[in-house]
Structure 1
Amino acid sequence: MQTNILTDEQYKMLSRKLINSIERHFKITPLNTLKHYKYILRKPIYITIEMEKDIFIASLDDIEAFAYADTEFEAINRLCEEIINIYEDLQADRDNLGKFPKKWLTFLEEVIVKSEEK
């Protein structure tokens, strides 16, 4: 029976290749604005950007929201719209929410504030 044991240098090189491969397909980035005049983020929220074939998928796992588009910029914009839609829907129906939607609303209320209308 042959045992293949990696040297430290081989292990480091393999680890670098694996990390680079993952980084080309996924990244986590802060979102500092929802790009909407009515809402301001109190603090950045971290979203995941994934590239799968020719499609970009932006997601906010904290509320199970996602959006996809042909470009990263469009996917992020669509995700912002989706977050706002979810936030407004949850607020409108706050008395009838299940376990997870209540957690999502709590999370969103911690990070989103209505802007002062001018």
Structure 2
Amino acid sequence: MLPLCPLSYGEADWLDVGGCQGIKQLHCDLSGVTSDPREWYYARVSSVSPSTSSKSAWALSPRFSPRLDTTISPPTLRVSVTKQGIVVRVKTLRPQVRRIHRNLRFKIYVTSSGGEEVHSKHA
């Protein structure tokens, strides 16, 4: 089991993260409690054996920043044909990532079947 606790840099108290206590998975989503892009955080984890009540020492993560350490995944696209033309809709990223990267912009490119770029648009 891996209880996981983030700490905002400079704070004295560790915060129990809901959904990250007593888990068997080797990962846990901390984005809901580490969403302030101005803060630095730490995480710590220990292993616990319920059958013997044994507990390991805490392992401490390196300091991390949501703004600097968040990986931005590619957006998804949906193309539809309307009476007005062909419309490309960009599905935005998770709200936590959008909050951290407020100035995030998309570039949409169009290419012909021959592989030559036809047009690009900043969105």
More helix, by proportion: 1
Structure with bigger gyration radius: 2
Please classify the TM superposition score into its range, dividing by the shorter chain length.
under 0.3
More strand, by proportion: 2
TM-score (norm 1): 0.25
